[in-house]
Structures are given as C-alpha cells and as structure tokens.
Amino acid sequence: MQSSMLLVSLLLISTLLLVSVPSAESTLILLLCALRSPLCPFTTTTTTTAAPASGS
C-alpha cells in the first residue's frame, strides 16, 4: 500500500468516526449557527419589524 493511499484511508476512517460520535452532531450544529448558515435549525423564517414611533 502506498503512503498516500494510507493517508487517505486514515483520513476517511477518522472522518467517519468523527461523524458517528453523538457529540459531533451538536458541534456541527453550533458551527453552522455561528457561521449564520441557512442550515442552522435555530434560525427563524419570521422577521420582526419595529413599531413606528409615534410623534406626540
């Protein structure tokens, strides 16, 4: 086995292990929300509008 193939295999295995760990999912969600990604489950589709100021 060539060394480059070994490195690619190790990278693939470590990536699969990282994804299979339950805490990796919450880390991914936190990262998506920190980057303001549309994939963040906590972003809302409703927008709030400020009430117009009353001139008294």
Domain range spanning residue 31?
9-42
Q: What is the dihedral of CA 33, 39, 43, 44, to 10 degrees?
A: 180
Q: What is the 3-state secondary structure (H, E, C) of 22-38?
A: HHHHHHHHHHHHHCCCC
Domain total in the chain:
1
**Average confidence (pLDDT) per 10 residues, the chain, 56 residues:** 86 82 77 84 72 64
Domain membership flag for residue 52: no
How many other CB atoms are there within 10 angstroms of residue 28's CB atom?
A: 13
Domain membership flag for residue 53: no
Residue 16 phi, psi (nearest 5): -65, -40
Domain membership flag for residue 3: no
Residue 9: the pLDDT is 93
Residue 8: the pLDDT is 92
pTM of the model: 0.40
